[in-house]
Structure 1
Amino acid sequence: MVLGLVLVVGASSAAAAGAQPERGGDGWRGEVVAVQPLRELDASGVRDVLGGAQFDAGGVRHGVEVYQVLYRTVDARNRATVASGLLALPRNGERQLRVVSYAHGTELNRTDAPSMWRDGWAVAPALTYASAGFAAVAPDYLGMGLGPGPHPFLDVTTEASASLDLLRAARTVAAGQQRTLRREVYVTGFSQGGSGATALGQALERGGDGWFRLGALAPIAGAFDARRVELPALVGGTVAPPYNVGYTAYLVVAWNRLHGLYQRPEEFFAAPYAGKVEALFDGVHTGEDLAATLPGTPEELFTPRGLAVLRAPSGPFADALAVHDASCDGIRAPARLLVDRADEQVPVANSTYCATRLRTGAVVDVGTHPYNGSAHLGANIAGTAAALAWFRQLG
């Protein structure tokens, strides 16, 4: 293999621009547009990356080959578009590989997506699973990484479709390496990716793909009950700044694009923020930009009307929340909901709610292991180690 080679497979300017493909059906979804080999690491190199990100390196058994994959999928309007994601394969000589899909947590800047490999944190979960012998995929989501347009934050429908189509693309790329991805997919994800993981699990169980099916589910610190748990925590003061206003503003701006929550920002956002908020969520700004721009409380950021809508959702907003909050419904595969009960950003009641909606599953406390002072971020580290240990047992 020659690193740095870009393989273009079936790419077209129409696909990249988001135009509908000419042929009928949706058989084009998951087609590979381009593959960029990112890095080859031996086992020692994997341990170095994981150690630098404070992830557990105890499960490392193999080196890895890591690729950035650009592939065809659909946007929130069901129009053709492209998205990117990361594929990591173990260097273990195995021809048939079990698969883990990992959905990442909230990011603002598109370069923080897994396939951009900006830092070890973004790639550590995928490296964890691949170095243990799994094929690991990590979608960037729409509008992140190399994907066009703004990111539809917390839109479980497109998180599931982008994740499912990346699995299809990964199967093609792996076949090019004379490797086969097994049917059972172990699905996990952190924070925003928690409900993205359950939405993918639903899609797999409901026959969303002719090959892949759900093997097991292990989301980490997910906000599964946005209407009754997460939103009240954000608006009511349980979640402290800057996360309270940052997450809520992100949701309102992204869902206004999808569901028309307001006609003018001034209806939802108070002065002097109304003219600044939407630009912050363009995929270019950073968390530091949010902290420097937004106030510390929802009462300062939102108008009385905006606060009223957030506290008592109705109409299209309530309908969209209902779709999000149904991502756990009816999943039959074995499931563990991994949490840290000291989580300062996502209350554990989210996972308790999800457990009641699953056919089988339990909430598992992974303990508190703060990362940069955050129990929530630490849950990703501890949860990834716990998910790996469980997936290995299931195999």
Structure 2
Amino acid sequence: MISAVAIALTASGTTAMAAPTAGNPRPAALAPVAADAPRGTLVSVERLRTLTAREVAAELAGDKAGAWDTGAVRYGLTTYRIVYRTVDPHGRPTTASGLLALPRNGERRLRTVSFTHGTELSKTDVASVSTSVWDQAPALTHASAGFATVLPDYLGLGLGPGFHPWMDVPSETTAALDMLRASRAVARSQGRELRRDVLVTGFSQGASAALGLARSLQDGDDDFFRLRAVAPISGAYSFRDAELPALLAGQTEPKASVIYSALTLVAFNRPHHLYDTPAQVFRAPYDRTIGGLLDGTHTGREVEAGTPDTIDALLTPRGRAMLAHPTARLAAALRTADGVCTDWTPRAPIRLYYADADEQAVPANTAHCHTALRARGVHAPTINLGTPDYGGSRHLGSQQAGTAAVVRWFRSLG
């Protein structure tokens, strides 16, 4: 799945970027954990915030880029930063981080929501580290409605080491599944229990990740958790046949198109070796700078300032041809990403949420996914969110409108 992500958020600065909370302690370590400990083993956990229902509602309603719906707010909540054992794209042991939000509703056994986030350029722009309303809102919305809410940072973001393997659905899936396992342990330490059924949702890049996690749960990859329903929002599920052509044809917001094109070549080159030197695909001077800009240590504004305004100013003819007509290794990687809609048959309820004229994740992605699922006999209604706006972005607005719609649907499932 790729794509469209919170680039408009990070690149255009529609939301304040939170630096890692200066002065906040890092998560408190538990007993030493071996590098080969089972996946999902807790490495550290730290309680971050406890909010009343009124404080949750005030935070959601007070977002300067656009107020979030507070209609589902019923309870206060407590959030926890978690670091846990997982595996990298090659199956080697590593760690990842994420945020767990538990409602303060007096219930011991909690329904569970997994939310996977959209693209972030900086390691710090994720829910376990950032304090921006944008990053916190999905956790606040679902937890205050009564759900235990699990938000993995993915590999290489938050407190995770190394580079983030962007749009790598297999590692997004393992990170999300292992975050569920670690969250179950934290809940137990608080005298709570996560129910087996998981309600899965995610936005943009995280929409594909949500479908990857849903497929994993349905396949029985965990002995405890199972899939209850899945509701992805504004995904780029057809990266090769819908999203990349739209980027190259100028059908998406220009700066987002530039950054997504760069991300595709840089991120996919790391595991798949698409080119020998950056100069083969990136024009000067970007061939010397683009890899460093996208290493996770730069803010969206820095990436925006360090990239050109058009794809043709960024890419060499070879670079553009590689995206227009993917072959060999890139084609294989894109087949894996696009397989979230084509390679399985969901048996749980599923809805696909999207916005009209999305300037980043073009609606053709949702149409492709819907058609692929229908061909497998799956009833997957597409839910049109209209033309929502968040800080001038319809794409980001779809996360805001979609989060409100999804929490209502999840509550109706019982």
Asked if 1:357 is matched to 2:372, the reply is yes
Considering only aligned residues, what root-mean-square deviation do their CA atoms show, in Å? 1.4
Amino acid at match of 1:356: T
Pair 1:336 & 2:351 matched: yes
- Aligned partner of 2:62 among 47, 52, 61: 52
Distance 1:302 1:209 in 2: 42
Is the Cα–Cα contact under 8 Å of residues 332 and 360 in structure 1 kept in the other structure? no
Asked if 2 retains the 8 angstrom alpha-carbon contact of 1:338 and 1:363, the reply is: yes
Partners of 2:27 and 2:40 lie apart in 1 by 18
Is contact 2:294-2:303 (8 Å) kept? no
Deviates more, 1:356-365 or 1:316-325: 356-365
Amino acid at match of 2:346: I
Separation in 2 of the partners of 1:92 and 1:393? 18
Match of 1:42 in 2: 52
Map of 1:347 onto structure 2: 362
Q: Is 2:167 aligned against 1:154?
A: yes
- Counterpart amino acid of residue 37 in structure 1: R
Amino acid at match of 1:74: V
Counterpart of 2:231 in structure 1 is: 218
Deviation at 1:286, TM superposition (A): 1.5
Q: Distance in 1 between matches of 2:26 and 2:153?
A: 21
Q: How does 1:107-256 map to 2 (within 5 A)?
A: 107-256=120-269
Q: Say whether the 8 Å CA contact 2:40–2:86 is kept in structure 1.
A: yes
**Conserved? CA contact 2:27–2:83, under 8 Å:** no
Provide the residue aligned with 2:410 in structure 1: 391
Question: CA–CA distance in 1 between the matches of 2:264 and 2:70?
Answer: 34
CA deviation after TM superposition for structure 1 residue 360, in Å: 2.6
CA pair 133-229 structure 1, distance change in 2 beyond 3 A: same
Deviates more, 1:28-37 or 1:284-293: 284-293
Please name the residue that 1:18 is paired with: none
Counting aligned pairs with the same residue, the percent is 51
State the one-letter code of the partner of 2:349: P
Q: Distance in 1 between matches of 2:32 and 2:410?
A: 35
Letter of the 2:279 partner, please give it. E
* One-letter amino acid matched to 2:307: L
- Secondary structure of the residue aligned to 1:274 is helix
Size of the alignment, in residue pairs?
Answer: 382
Alpha carbons 1:11, 1:34 under 8 Å: kept: no
Deviation at 1:57, TM superposition (A): 1.0
Q: Could you say what secondary structure the match of 1:346 adopts?
A: coil
With 319-328 and 293-302 compared, the bigger mean Cα shift is at 293-302
- Structure number with greater CO (CA < 8 Å, separation at least 6) is 2
Residue correspondence of structure 1 range 229-308 to structure 2 within 5 A: 229-308=242-321
Are the equivalent residues in 2 in contact too, given 1:4–1:38 (CA < 8 A)?
Answer: no
Q: Over residues 159-188 of structure 1, what are the superposed CA-to-partner deviations in whole Å (9 max), with x where a residue is unaligned?
A: 111000000000000011111111111100
Cα distance in 2 for partners of 1:233, 1:349 equals: 9
1:314-365 deviations in whole A, cap 9, x for unaligned?
0010000000000123222111111111211111111111122332311100
Alpha carbons 2:86, 2:174 under 8 Å: kept:
yes
TM-score by length of 2: 0.90
Q: In 1, Cα distance between the equivalents of 2:49 and 2:327?
A: 48
Unaligned runs of 5+ in 1: 16-20
Partners of 2:51 and 2:32 lie apart in 1 by 29
Cα distance in 2, alignment partners of residues 171 and 356 from structure 1: 36
Could you tell me the TM-score, scaled by structure 1's length?
0.94
Matched, 1:9 2:30: yes
The answer to whether the 8 Å contact 1:331/1:360 transfers is: no
CA drift of 1:252 comes to: 1.1
Return the letter of the residue paired with 1:383: G
SS at match of 1:169: helix
* Secondary structure of the corresponding residue to residue 110 of structure 1: coil
* Partner Cα distance (1:184, 1:357) in 2: 25
Structure 2 unmatched ranges of 5 or more: 1-23
Cα deviation 1:238-296 (Å, max 9, x = unaligned):
11221001011012111100111111101110111100100011111111112211111
Q: Which deviates more, 223-232 or 329-338? A: 329-338
SS across alignment from 2:131: coil
- Contact 2:233–2:398, Cα closer than 8 Å, also in 1: yes
Q: Residue 297 of structure 1: CA displacement?
A: 1.5
- DSSP-derived class of the 2:348 partner: coil
State whether structure 2 residue 45 is matched by structure 1 residue 32: no
Query: Could you report, residue by residue, the CA deviation over 1:179-211 in whole angstroms, capped at 9, with x for unpaired residues?
Result: 111111110001110101001111111111011
